Amino acid sequence: MNFLYPGFLFALLTVAIPVIIHLFNFRKFKKVYFSNVAFLKEVKEQNSSREKLKNLLILFCRILAIVFLVLAFARPFLPSGSKIDQSKGSTISIYIDNSYSMEAVNKEGSLLDEAKRKAKEIVKAFQINDRFQLLTNDFEGKHQRLLNGDELLQAVDEIKISSASRQLQQVINRQQSVFTGASNRFIYVISDFQNGFAGNQPIKTDGNTNVSLVKLNANELPNVAVDSVWLLSPVHQANATEKLVVQLRNYGDEDAKNIAVKLNINAQQKAISSLNVSAGKTTIDTLSYSGLTLGWQKGTISIKDFPLTFDDQLNFSFKVNAEQKVLSINGKQEGKYIRALFGADPYFKLTEMPEANINYSALSAYSLIVLNGLANPSSGLAQELKAYVSNGGAVVIFPDLDADIKAYSEFLAALNLPAVSVLNKVPAKVSAIELKHPLFKDVFETLPQNLDLPQVNRYFGFAESNSSNKEDLLQLPANKLFFARYLLGNGQLYLAATDLENEDSNFAKHPVFVPLMYKIAFASAKEQPIYYTAMKDNVLESQKINLGANQSLKLVADQFEVIPELRQTNGKTLLYVADQVKRAGFYEVKRADTTLAVVAFNDNRTESDMHYTAQTDLQKLFGKQEIAFLDPKSDSIAAAVSAKNNGTELWKLCLILSLVFIAIEIVLVRFYHIQKT
């Protein structure tokens, strides 16, 4: 047995008081005269033994009453086996899961309300001088401040449902960070322990910390969520017909039928659909829409699904541009075919530069660069193009067949392309076309049996040692390269075996040339993410934004404004907003009063899966680490916490025994009389 306050044991010296009273017997006697001494002796013989017994019983009751009263103040307890020195005080971190899943209801009410009640019970199990941390999914700065018991009880009442979601390891890491210098460390995690929250990776804890989990019992609910959305075209033109793909996911155990799907863009309904989603599966559908205007578009895909509704809408945004910039760098050959191709369409803004006067600093402003018959491509140009392509750009190379083969090989090698091995002068005809490639999708309405393909009189042969990043689009006999795509970083390179001169091939005049180049131009448009996830460390990507000396960018929404960290890199502007965006919706990137971009945020879909991790599986995540599970159904979770931390406390028993012995003493004094004969 140990004592929480052993200093009170000095009060046991007061036991001497009733002993002294008993020994000296301070009772005053009254003189009574008897005529017969023999009669007096008879009375004394009959009553002295009973008197001594009564006095001894009273003495023992007084001694035991004092002893147990002193012990009650010393707080005796039987150790639980945990190495906790209560005299040094404790630091307690209590995490309350306030994610969307805690809106679920059981017989105790909402899970969040039940979690609040359990947290308050835990507080009552500790001492008045102990310090507490209250943690929620919001991970706010105030959560790193230690509170006393009363402050924590008040803070618990202020907790509300949040769109933020965390994982168990993140929570425990955050809790352990507050224990600097603390002797007794306690972690309490109160949650429904969704599968997404618990995860499937081993959980690591500090061996000096007492970890307790309170798993609230929740009912598994059916739920269908708008899982994701993506656009089929990276290029968006005004009044053009476009297609969008929506994916629904059924997290429930029963099939969901006739789920109505609605597409709105700029608050106007553009398309509707109805889907059936099998239990535990996903279903996709393609929606067509048109009538877009220039500028930023705010889109939403929505469904109606009860009882969980937070994941029934997904926001996205994209921009309809008035033009797309294309650069043609020309050698000695004229760029008439490129000029005729892109100059005829007002959507494309074509810029031409001579090989001898290239503005390298402007390359990043173009989505597509065409190298048209360069005679002496330099290593400096290769370096700039490699950086441009790695960051998402696209380059098409039509070589100069009269150029030095060695110089061209070095230029191509710098771009991770195959070297030129020979100049072939034997006429040939393209023998194969990769019609399944996305660039040829919707190019041919019907395919003739004998498809006419380009002819070539002169062309380069290439020494290909590694074709892992190569996609052949057009091939000559014997699988020789005629036109192929190579992936490099985030971008792509297109390499042709011949130039665009009439005497060398009819490629520039062939019907396949125009749709192929248009598709390459459209595919080269630099796609931006159409939505982000709130409460995550997000980096927003935008086309390069030029700022003045005293200018800054702001991310703005209703009752929200932050100035993100800014970084300019390779023709892009990156905005670091960390996890400052906490609500789903649309946010504007502004420079002064000018809106430069519209960014969509959505709630994390990890909360959509309403399946929960069993206690046995939680124990496996912790492995051999010692953790405790507190039963939320227990009438007094405070008693369970106290028993775990302090062992079996005996102070209440001591107090009761003290009162019992005082009562016995009173009974002996008032009602136990020696009968005189």
pLDDT tens digits for range 479-515: 999 999 999 988 999 999 999 999 999 999 998 999 9
Helix (H, G, I), strand (E, B), or coil: what is residue 109? strand
The phi-psi region of residue 86 (left if phi > 0; otherwise alpha if psi is between -120 and 50; otherwise beta) is alpha
Question: What was the pLDDT predicted at 79?
Answer: 66
Q: How many CB atoms lie under 10 A from the CB of residue 106?
A: 14
Residue with tokens 């492995």: 623
Residue 336 makes CB contacts below 8 A (sequence gap 6+) with: none
Dihedral angle of Cα 43, 45, 48, 53, to the nearest 10 degrees:
-120
Give the sign of the dihedral formed by CA 607, CA 608, CA 609, CA 614.
positive
Question: What was the pLDDT predicted at 444?
Answer: 67
Average pLDDT over residues 52-72: 88
144-171 confidence digits (pLDDT tens):
889 999 999 999 999 999 988 899 999 9
622-647 confidence digits (pLDDT tens):
998 889 898 887 656 666 676 666 66
Q: How many CB atoms lie under 10 A from the CB of residue 279?
A: 12
> In this structure, what token pair is assigned to residue 16?
């001497």
pLDDT band at 41 (very low <50, low <70, confident <90, very high): low
256-266 confidence digits (pLDDT tens):
999 999 999 99
> How many angstroms separate the CA atoms of 462 and 484, rounded?
12
Question: What was the pLDDT predicted at 360?
Answer: 92
Q: CA separation (Å) from 581 to 154, 599, 677?
A: 26, 11, 95
Phi, psi (5° rounding) for residue 659?
-65, -35
pLDDT band at 452 (very low <50, low <70, confident <90, very high): confident
Q: Is the pLDDT of residue 674 over 60?
A: no
> How many angstroms separate the CA atoms of 187 and 211, rounded?
5
Q: How many Cα atoms occupy the beta-carbon half-sphere of 642 within 13 Å? A: 17
192-220 confidence digits (pLDDT tens):
999 999 988 999 998 888 899 999 988 77
CB 618 within 8 A of CB 191: no
Segment (H or E) for 329: strand 324-330
Amino acid present at 535 = M
Percent of the chain with pLDDT over 90: 57
Average pLDDT over residues 222-228: 94
Distance of CA 442 to the CA centre of its chain: 39
655-666 confidence digits (pLDDT tens):
999 999 999 988
Q: Average pLDDT over the chain, rounded to whole?
A: 88
Question: What was the pLDDT predicted at 415?
Answer: 94
> How many angstroms separate the CA atoms of 624 and 211, rounded?
13
Question: What was the pLDDT predicted at 646?
Answer: 60
Q: Is the pLDDT of residue 189 over 90?
A: yes
The closest of 328, 335, 372, 383 to 353, measured between CA atoms, is 328
> How many angstroms separate the CA atoms of 601 and 540, rounded?
11
DSSP β-ladder status, 313-320 and 295-302 = antiparallel
Q: How many CB atoms lie under 10 A from the CB of residue 121?
A: 19
What DSSP state is assigned to residue 202?
P
Question: What was the pLDDT predicted at 670?
Answer: 82
Tell me whether residue 641 is exposed, middle or buried, using C-beta atoms within 10 angstroms of its C-beta: 0 to 12, 13 to 18, 19 or more.
buried
556-573 confidence digits (pLDDT tens):
999 899 999 988 876 678
Q: How many CB atoms lie under 10 A from the CB of residue 603?
A: 25
> How many angstroms separate the CA atoms of 230 and 247, rounded?
9
CB 250 within 8 A of CB 280: yes
Q: Is the pLDDT of residue 475 over 60?
A: yes
Annotate 393-449 with three-state secondary structure.
CEEEEECCCCCCHHHHHHHHHHCCCCEEEEEECCCEECCEECCCCHHHCCCCCCCCC
> In this structure, what token pair is assigned to residue 408?
């061209």
Residue 441 makes CB contacts below 8 A (sequence gap 6+) with: none
Q: What is the CA radius of gyration of the chain?
A: 42
The closest of 582, 575, 579 to 559, measured between CA atoms, is 582
- Among 237-251, 387-401, 534-548, the range scoring the smallest mean pLDDT is 534-548
Average pLDDT over residues 44-48: 59
Length of the chain: 677
pTM metric for this prediction: 0.74
> How many angstroms separate the CA atoms of 346 and 323, rounded?
7
> How many angstroms separate the CA atoms of 494 and 372, rounded?
12
Give the sign of the dihedral formed by CA 477, CA 479, CA 480, CA 486.
positive
Q: How many CB atoms lie under 10 A from the CB of residue 580?
A: 14
In the chain, the domains with their CATH numbers are 2-79+651-671 (no CATH), 86-220+611-646 (3.40.50.410), 324-523 (3.40.50.880), 532-602 (2.60.40)
Q: Is the pLDDT of residue 22 over 90?
A: no
The closest of 390, 396, 403 to 329, measured between CA atoms, is 396
The closest of 606, 597, 598 to 533, measured between CA atoms, is 606
Residue 462 makes CB contacts below 8 A (sequence gap 6+) with: 418, 419, 420, 421, 481, 495, 497
Per DSSP (E only), the strands in 71-200 are 76-78, 90-96, 105-106, 109-110, 131-135, 184-191
Q: Is the pLDDT of residue 618 over 90?
A: yes
Amino acid present at 403 = A
> How many angstroms separate the CA atoms of 396 and 387, rounded?
15
> In this structure, what token pair is assigned to residue 483?
């036109």
316-349 confidence digits (pLDDT tens):
999 999 999 999 999 987 788 999 999 888 899 9
Residue with tokens 């892009």: 572
Residue 209 makes CB contacts below 8 A (sequence gap 6+) with: 176, 179, 185, 186, 187
> In this structure, what token pair is assigned to residue 112?
């969040």
pLDDT band at 26 (very low <50, low <70, confident <90, very high): low
> In this structure, what token pair is assigned to residue 119?
């947290």
Residue with tokens 């700065």: 141
